Amino acid sequence: MKHILVLHTGGTIAMSENESGGLTPGAANPLMAFNQLFKGKYELEVEELFNLPSPHMTPREMLQLKNRIMTAEAAGIDGVVITHGTDTLEETAYFLDLTLPAQIPVVITGAMRSSDEIGSDGLYNLSSALKTAASPGARGKGVLVVMNDEVHSARFVTKTHTTNVSTFRTPTFGPLGIIEKNGAKFFQELTNQSRCDIDHVIDHIYLLKAYAGMDGTLFDALNQPATNGLIIEGTGAGNLPPQTLPAIQKLLDRNIPIILVSRCFNGVAEPVYAYKGGGQELAKMGLIFCQGLNGQKARIKLLVALANGKSGAALATYMRDAIS
């Protein structure tokens, strides 16, 4: 029987409705009442690491999770399941995917409906995540996100709907597999990604989204001694309104790494256009194009790169290379 560590961290999966109909975390995680359901299928070790709504998660808690998983793997656990709020689930999943050297399956799940709501998806998703963590095919695939009968890689999965249970999707590339009655079935594989170990996290890495008519105001506001890095979600293939360029140049002059991704839901950013503010000029200025990641994931990757001590050409190569 597989020995699986379940780490609860909070989110809607651990919440119930209060008297006025609002969703809140309670003193006890409602999933704890169902541990005996899995008796005879898996040997479970269950811990409530946090009980946080996921907008309260920070890279510090992500690092704590990573350290707990590494200790568990060293102690011989077969797989790990994490329950998490869905709002920032993709960030925690990608943080762990980048930093964990683990070969054991690490599977993250959550719920869109609280434990006491009609059609609650929490217990079902937990059961699917356990099936996946116990599947031999899940080994060595990096961190996996399991929700609504699909298995996604942490690298590209994103929350796409505010309420629908099929909210987690992998734009451009699609899911890695599906949940069947008896386990997870994989039908495609991502190219390998090197792991990058860190023992601390970095603050003051910002994320801005470009829009028609954007000027330098927000970039000027980030021109501060504490700023460590910036991600910009550019338009289309990776372009910016020309009025932003002087303020961006001031940040580059201070050696602040600036990473460019696309604000488009599908596709990758690449320096195609040669007009003012077009991708070719941005690349020449020194903005680093990051392929395939959305803004919030590129931010996690920059944080990991800087915490690992990367700078200059090594940082640029690491940030550019999201796919291989």
Ligand X SMILES: NC(=O)C[C@H](N)C(=O)O
Interface contacts to ligand X, rule CB under 6 A: 11-12, 53-54, 85-87, 110-112
Task: Give start and end residues of each alpha helix (H) in 3-142.
Answer: 59-74, 89-99, 122-133
Phi, psi of 306 (to 5 degrees): -70, -40
The catalytically annotated residue of 12, 88, 109, 158 is 12
CB of 124 to ligand X, least distance (A): 14
CB of 147 to ligand X, least distance (A): 10
Instruction: Please count the residues of the chain.
Output: 324
- Spatial strand order in the sheet of 106-109: 43-48, 3-8, 79-83, 106-109, 143-147, 150-153, 177-180, 183-186
8 Å CB contact between 299 and 306: no
CB of 81 to ligand X, least distance (A): 16
CB nearest ligand X: which residue? 85
Cα 160 to chain centroid, rounded: 13
Spatial neighbors of 259 by CB under 8 A, at least 6 apart, are 229, 230, 231, 232, 287, 288, 289, 290, 298, 302, 319
Specify the residue, 51 or 223, whose C-beta has the smaller distance to ligand X. 51
Specify the residue, 110 or 279, whose C-beta has the smaller distance to ligand X. 110
How many other CB atoms sit within 10 Å of the CB of residue 70?
A: 15
CB of 290 to ligand X, least distance (A): 25
- 88 has catalytic annotation: no
- 163 has catalytic annotation: no
Please name which of 67, 79, 168, 96 lies closest in space to residue 131, comparing C-alpha atoms.
Answer: 79
Q: How far apart are CA 170 and CA 230, in angstroms?
A: 24
Specify the residue, 24 or 172, whose C-beta has the smaller distance to ligand X. 24
Specify the residue, 85 or 295, whose C-beta has the smaller distance to ligand X. 85
CB of 52 to ligand X, least distance (A): 7
Specify the residue, 146 or 319, whose C-beta has the smaller distance to ligand X. 146
CB of 299 to ligand X, least distance (A): 17
The catalytically annotated residue of 24, 58, 71, 86 is 86
* 160-177 residues labelled b (16+ CB within 10 A) or e (exposed): eeeeebebbbbeebebbb
The residue whose two tokens read 């629908």 is: 164
How many other CB atoms sit within 10 Å of the CB of residue 152?
A: 24
Specify the residue, 85 or 257, whose C-beta has the smaller distance to ligand X. 85
Give me the active site residues, please: 12, 86
